[in-house]
Amino acid sequence: MQFIGIGFRKSDGVDLGLIRDKAAEYDLLASKVISEGNFREGLEDFSGQFELECLQLAAFNEDSKKASSRQISDELSEFHRVSQESSLLNFLSAEKASFPQTYYLVFACDWNAADPTRLELIASDALKPYFKRNNSWYLWLYNYSAKRYYPMLDLPLVLEIANK
């Protein structure tokens, strides 16, 4: 199970209902109910440390007739590969006026409390270039004997976004 979500500091008083409604305009489902998965313990610990409230993001897949974060992850890969549109990136770019000065984009598979994460500080206008350089959110490692890259899924990525 993968988790892709957006987090806001509780002290910023963000209207999560408004964010959820705006996400829906980009065919994204944003839910305050976080699904079960191996990421929950780490997400709860991280959210507590940073005093965040999070929305889990998912997108509907026409083929499987299911909503999941997998669809968002696949779109990010296609954005990297062939510059195909990404509903997540379009949402974050077009609706940035709805977001506070700082917010968090969280990607995780396996995440236990106090596990290290990749925390990257990034400006909101650098999101598309970031994902154009990086194939999805995975940490890509190169296996030189096999001459190919493979994803390392067990190291969460948190982007702290400075909204400009």
Which residues, at least 6 apart from 98, have a Cβ–Cβ distance to it below 8 Å?
18, 19, 22
Query: In this structure, what token pair is assigned to residue 36?
Result: 């079960």
Q: Contact, 81 vs 135, CB < 8 A?
A: yes
Determine how β-strand 118-123 pairs with β-strand 157-162. parallel
State how many domains the chain has. Answer: 1
Q: What is the DSSP string of 68-106?
A: EHHHHHHHHHHHHHH----HHHHHHHHTGGGS-SEEEEE
Q: Contact, 5 vs 34, CB < 8 A?
A: yes
Give the pLDDT mean for 150-158. 87
* Beta carbons within 10 angstroms of residue 142's beta carbon: 9
What are the tens digits of pLDDT across the range 21-39? 999 999 999 999 999 899 9
Query: What's the pLDDT at 70?
Result: 85
- pTM, full prediction: 0.90
Residue holding tokens 């549109």?
Answer: 85
Query: What's the pLDDT at 66?
Result: 76
Task: Kindly indicate the confidence band of residue 50, based on its pLDDT and cuts at 50, 70 and 90.
Answer: very high
As to burial, measured by CB atoms within 10 angstroms (0-12 exposed, 13-18 middle, 19+ buried), residue 114 is exposed
Dist CA 107 CA 2 (whole Å): 8
For the chain, give the mean pLDDT.
91
Say if residue 99's pLDDT is above 90: yes
Task: Kindly indicate the confidence band of residue 133, based on its pLDDT and cuts at 50, 70 and 90.
Answer: confident
Residue holding tokens 């000065």?
Answer: 101
Q: For the chain, what percent of residues have pLDDT higher than 70?
A: 98
Which residues, at least 6 apart from 147, have a Cβ–Cβ distance to it below 8 Å?
none
Query: What's the pLDDT at 65?
Result: 67
Range of the domain at 16: 3-162
